[in-house]
């Protein structure tokens, strides 16, 4: 139980008719922590962020307390103005505007400042905080590479001066060097006092920054706690690696390159069918490989696993 929660989510649900996107999820976020959120594709990670921020949809049921006060019925811009900002999974920027003007839009929306010079000063600071190159300040955001568009989006969120920042897969589509820069940025934001909820498939990034991990599966929360406890949790192992009788196949699939988790069971039938079996190991070993070979070219992600053949020789 958190002692000083800045965000309390209770029994939060979102339904679209018979479809559940978030199913009675409850957790608390401590002030200043980085809470990692993991789960297979479609497990409800983004929908959880949507329901908390009401962008683009509101929760069907449940309560969200921010700093002790309910926010789940406030309009989305008021939630943002109070101090809960988010980024979107697919980087979303105003393509025709520069990085500074993107931040200015946020500032205008939430009326953080009255005078134009104050607004511009705030807008100029935001890209600087995220390390956006000053030489590109005037470029249209739509012409920037993906890593910089992600920075523009984070800068726009930071222009709100949020106490809580929800980052939805900030490292997707980035190179190894860009992921490292993203890690440094996330750690720097936490040091500035921002509480962070971080949805990520990339376990190497999550492991490097999180304080606790929340795991979703099929729109429900299945585990929450420190990393060491969560990855040992049998339910979590089964969600990612399948039931016991599938595990030899899973171990094989893990050696064959990228494997996506689909409804909680990891298999790569096509790769396995091609017969390119390099090595078989039990699923627990998959977790260990990450720890042992993290410094090498091995990246193991929750829900997606990438292992270079050379590491397995
Ligand atoms: N607007 C919507 N209308 C109907 N169903 C939706 C909507 N948004 C989400 N869902 C459903 O809710 C479930 C959770 O989706 P969500 O996008 O949150 O998954 P996710 O964990 O973020 O997946 P990924 O890792 O692929 O980003 C999915 O089954 C999805 O189809
Ligand atoms: Mg998502």
* Extents of the domains making up the chain: 5-230, 234-312
Neighbouring CB atoms inside 10 A of 72's CB total: 19
User: What residues have a C-beta under 5 A from ligand 2, the ion?
Assistant: 45-46, 89
- CATH for 5-230 is 3.40.50.300
pLDDT digits (tens, 9 = 90+) for 6-28: 999 999 999 999 999 999 999 99
| Residue 39 CB–ligand 1 contact under 6 Å | yes
Q: Which of 15, 20, 44, 49 to probe ligand 1 with, by most ligand atoms within 8 A of CB?
A: 44
For residue 254, is pLDDT > 80?
Answer: no
User: pLDDT band at 279, cuts 50/70/90?
Assistant: very low
Ligand 2 centroid to residue 42 C-alpha, Å: 7
Q: What are 150's two structure tokens? A: 């992600």
Give the count of alpha carbons within 13 A of 157, CB side only. 27
Within 83-217, where are the H helices?
A: 99-110, 116-129, 146-158, 176-191, 203-209
Cα→Cα distances 101→95, 141, 167, 310, Å: 10, 9, 21, 46
Ligand 1 centroid to residue 154 C-alpha, Å: 22
Pick the residue with more confidence: 150 or 249? 150
Q: Which of 14, 15, 16, 21 to probe ligand 1 with, by most ligand atoms within 8 A of CB?
A: 21
User: pLDDT band at 205, cuts 50/70/90?
Assistant: confident
- Say what the pLDDT of residue 231 is: 64
Task: Write down the pTM of the prediction.
Answer: 0.79
| Residue 47 CB–ligand 1 contact under 6 Å | yes
pLDDT digits (tens, 9 = 90+) for 36-74: 998 888 899 999 999 999 999 999 999 999 999 999 999
């Amino acid at each position: 139980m958190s002692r000083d929660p800045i965000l309390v989510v209770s029994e939060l649900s979102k339904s679209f008719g018979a479809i559940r996107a978030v199913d009675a999820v409850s957790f608390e976020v401590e002030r200043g922590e980085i809470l990692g959120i993991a789960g297979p594709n479609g497990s409800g990670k983004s929908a959880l962020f949507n329901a908390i921020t009401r962008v683009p949809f509101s929760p069907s049921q449940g309560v969200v307390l921010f700093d002790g006060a309910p926010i789940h019925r406030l309009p989305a811009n008021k939630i943002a103005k109070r101090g809960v900002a988010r980024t979107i999974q697919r980087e979303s920027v105003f393509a025709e505007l520069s990085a500074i003007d993107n931040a200015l839009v946020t500032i205008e929306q939430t009326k953080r400042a009255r005078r134009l010079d104050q607004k511009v000063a705030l807008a100029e600071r935001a890209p600087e905080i995220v390390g956006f190159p000053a030489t590109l300040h005037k470029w249209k955001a739509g012409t920037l590479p993906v890593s910089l568009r992600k920075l523009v989006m984070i800068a726009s969120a930071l222009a709100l001066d949020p106490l809580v920042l929800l980052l939805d897969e900030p490292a997707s589509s980035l190179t190894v060097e860009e992921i490292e820069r993203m890690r440094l940025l996330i750690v720097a934001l936490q040091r500035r006092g921002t509480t962070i909820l971080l949805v990520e498939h990339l376990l190497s990034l999550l492991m490097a920054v999180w304080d606790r991990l929340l795991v979703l599966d099929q729109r429900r929360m299945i585990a929450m706690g420190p990393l060491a406890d969560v990855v040992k949790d049998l339910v979590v192992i089964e969600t990612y690696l399948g039931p016991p009788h599938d595990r030899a196949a899973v171990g094989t699939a893990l050696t064959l390159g990228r494997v996506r988790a689909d409804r909680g069971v990891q298999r790569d039938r096509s790769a396995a069918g091609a017969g390119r079996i390099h090595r078989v190991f039990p699923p627990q070993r998959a977790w260990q490989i990450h720890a042992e070979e993290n410094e090498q070219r091995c990246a193991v992600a929750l829900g997606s696993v990438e292992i270079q053949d050379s590491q397995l020789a």
